[in-house]
Amino acid sequence: MHNYISYDLAKSFDYLYDGQVVRANHNTKECQGKSNSLQVTRRGNDLFIYCHRCTISRYFKNYFGPYQKNDINVSSNTLPTITLPKDFNRRMGEWPKECYEFLNKVELDEDAINDLNIGYSPTKRRLIFSLWNKYGLSVLLTRRIFEDDKAPKWVTYKNKNNPDYSFILGRNTEVISITEDVISAYKLSSYTCSYPLLTNNITPSKLVYISNNFLRAIVWLDNDNIKVRKNSFKIASKLELLGVKVKIIQDQIDPKNVSYLQLDTKMDNLIRDLLHGTRTT
């Protein structure tokens, strides 16, 4: 049985008031999360539950309002068509050194690796990344780490019955950062919520999803060519038409290749500007 956040679990947080954020234990058979790995947020009548260890999440739209039957009962067409590899291994001490070398290069430390549920598959000889939503696993990504691996750098497997994953919950829940790749999204979740497009375009369903949940956004794609830079402006324009305040980062480097030391100042200024119209010097 796949890891899943149940409606019964959500009922444990019926006491939350608007804007309250609490932490709890997600000690399920599948996760066995550490104390307080589960983060629960109420925004208006909506409830969002996210586990920082196994990265599974569930968004309960209008949970504190009228009864939403369609959100509680999972229909048969949402059953997963992809799963984590059977040899998916989260025990970092058993990984090849090439895994550490790659993750160190993008400054993902042990805490981040645990929180984001990154693993290794000996059969695939690749690092494993995953994106989840309220119905379970939505996207599985594998990353090349060995020079003799002739497959593409990234291989993506999408659940055709469950295509739209949830955003990655970040430190600031009022702003979302839209990135091109999953590692950039992971890094920016240290500052804001984040959403990896896994491409440099955006689908109508993702536009609606983001605008329904956020009023402020940062668009930061891998601006290594003029086409991608143009797409950044197109995404921003579409979001602005839906009422979202947007800031575009035009740096010709994607977030995963920017140090946390540099990101601290840049993201602090962007968040201040989006929230208050002011920024530090």
Mean per-residue pLDDT of the chain: 82
Question: Given this model, what pLDDT does residue 2 score?
Answer: 45
223-265 tens-digit pLDDT: 778 888 899 999 999 999 999 999 999 887 889 999 999 999 9
Q: Edge-to-edge strands of the sheet including 119-121?
A: 119-121, 126-133, 136-144, 154-158
182-221 tens-digit pLDDT: 999 999 988 999 999 998 889 888 898 899 889 999 999 9
70-119 tens-digit pLDDT: 333 334 444 456 888 889 998 888 999 999 999 999 998 887 887 777 99
* Residue 94: φ, ψ to 5°: -105, 5
Question: Given this model, what pLDDT does residue 114 score?
Answer: 77
DSSP per-residue letters across the chain: ------HHHHGGGTTPPTT-EEEE----TTT-PPTT-EEEEEETTEEEEEETTT--EEEETTTTSS--HHHHSPPGGGS-S----TT-B--GGGS-HHHHHHHHHTT--HHHHHHTT-EEETTTTEEEEEEEETTEEEEEEEEE-STT--S-SEEEEE-TTS--PPPBP-SEEEEEEEESSHHHHHHHTTTEEEEE-SSSS--HHHHHHHHHH-SEEEEE----SHHHHHHHHHHHHHHHHTT-EEEE---SS-GGGS-HHHHHHHHHHHHHHHHHS----
List beta partners, residue 40. Answer: 22, 49
**CA 262 → CA 8, 9, 256, distances in Å?**
42, 39, 11
DSSP state of 166: P
User: Does the pLDDT at position 67 exceed 90?
Assistant: no
- Amino acid found at 115: D
Question: Given this model, what pLDDT does residue 165 score?
Answer: 77
Question: Could you tell me how far CA 73 lies from the centroid of its own chain?
Answer: 23
Which domains does the chain possess? 7-66 (no CATH), 92-158 (3.90.980.10), 172-276 (3.40.1360.10)
Question: Given this model, what pLDDT does residue 112 score?
Answer: 80
Q: Which residues contact 183 (CB under 8 A, 6 or more apart)?
A: 106, 108, 129, 256
108-154 tens-digit pLDDT: 888 788 777 799 999 999 999 988 776 677 889 999 999 999 999 99
Question: Given this model, what pLDDT does residue 49 score?
Answer: 85
Question: Given this model, what pLDDT does residue 125 score?
Answer: 96
